[in-house]
Structure 1
Amino acid sequence: MERMEEYMIMEETAALVPQYDSYGRLGTIVYELYNTYKVEQSPKEIIQQSCRYYGSTYEGKVHAAKHILGIRQMVPISVCEALRLYFFPTCSPDSDRCIWIAPSHIKMIQPYEKKKTKVILKNKQELIVDIQKGTLEGKMYKTAMLMVTLQQRMMNNYEK
């Protein structure tokens, strides 16, 4: 697995999974369609840096998603609307257990053991997440609602 100091989210990015290294530093295993990387940044740092790269702030994206969806916590975010880069957190983004997943790369989800879910990505990689299937489906639904709402607003402006 290739190591990187920093990582920028792109269309191939499927999931950001937190992992501590042997020195106790929080890093990330980045799952892409064709590659997997070990990155020294935390998942949240990658999300924050990627938002800035694409012209916004993480805080701004969170605030907008809360407003659009009418929810207050664990909101999905649009890292970049133009490239359709949307991710949702599996738990509080401040938790060192938070996995960020791009729903566009999910092929299937299945219940797994008690209160866990198996996420099968389009490239057949599998992730086990610590939330129930129904909760994960709800997160996917909220992410889809955010994406559709933002796309409709952009299209409405073009039509005027």
Structure 2
Amino acid sequence: MAEKGRVLSSYEINPYTMMIRPAGDEYSEVIEAGARYLVSCRPFDIVKRSCAYFGSSYSGRRDGTKQLIGITYKAPIIVDPYTSIYLFPTASPASPQCVWISHDYIASYEKNGPYATVVTFQNSESFDLPVSFYSLENQVSRTAMLRIKFTQNMKRMEKFNKKPAHLLHNRASEPNGAYWINE
């Protein structure tokens, strides 16, 4: 937890965010690699606000997922493509029980009853979550599909972005007020 008794009024998802889960009706517990925070808003509100922080709306991120992999229900999203923050919900995002998990930090998960799964993160912290093993496994797979498709598209675009070497090293200079290119 942050300082004892301290509640944050807002939070932006970042590359250290591992999980965001509900803590009562109006709060969230944010688990980062090495820190925990109590935030005075619901997990879905944190996700929506973070999407906006990184230049898109939640619905825009969800529509992007639909375009890339055709998923619309419990869709994983790319919160920030630049830092590769991929999150997935464990239930309908509007559900008060929905937990948001970062795909990057999952080390393993195992069944712990018909509607519970223990998720272990890369820092060895484990959490018993109210989601069936098969549902969680499906969400992990969908998020991997989203990551692969987005990465493939970016690599395809990088091929078009390669300029001939002689164009990368040109310099403009202005002898006697005229523009010309040094090569």
Structure 2 counterpart of 1:67: 67
Deviations 1:76-101 (A, max 9, x none): 00001110100000000000100000
Q: Which residue of 1 aligns with 2:13?
A: 9
**C-alpha distance in structure 1 between counterparts of 2:142 and 2:32, whole Å:** 22
Cα deviations across residues 85-143 of structure 1 (Å, max 9, x unaligned)? 00000000000100000021111101102321000111222222222212211111110
Whole-Å separation in 1 of the counterparts to 2:71 and 2:104? 22
Partner residue of 1:114?
114
Q: Which runs of 5+ in 1 are unaligned?
A: none
When Rg is computed on C-alpha atoms for both structures, the one with the higher figure is 2
Q: Equivalents in 1 of 2:131, 2:72: separation in Å?
A: 19
Q: Percent identity?
A: 29
The structure with higher relative contact order (CA 8 Å, sep 6+) is 1
Q: TM-score, normalised by structure 1?
A: 0.93
Matching residue of 2:166: none
Instruction: Decide whether the 8 Å contact of 2:12 with 2:46 is kept in 1.
Output: yes
Identify the residue that residue 18 of structure 1 maps to in structure 2. Answer: 22
The one-letter code sitting in structure 2 at the alignment partner of 1:12 is Y
Task: Trace 1:1-160 onto structure 2 (pairs within 5 A).
Answer: 1-2=1-2, 3-20=7-24, 25-160=25-160
Which stretches of structure 1, 4 residues or more, deviate above 2 A after TM superposition? none
Query: SS at 1:113's partner residue?
Result: coil
Gaps of 5+ in 2: 161-183
The structure with the largest strand share of the pair is 1
Secondary structure of the residue that 1:4 maps to in structure 2? coil
Give yes or no for contact 1:26–1:96 (8 Å, CA) kept in 2: no
Q: Deviations over 1:16-65 (max 9, x none)?
A: 00111xxxx41100000000000112111111111111111101001111
The two structures have a TM-score, normalised by structure 2, of 0.82
Structure 2 CA distance for aligned equivalents of residues 115 and 58 of structure 1: 27
* Residues 16 and 100 in structure 1, CA contact (< 8 A), matched pair in contact too: yes
Contact in 1 for aligned 2:69/2:149 (Cα 8 Å): no
- Match for 1:59: what amino acid? S
| TM-superposed deviation, 1:71 | 2.3
RMSD: 1.1
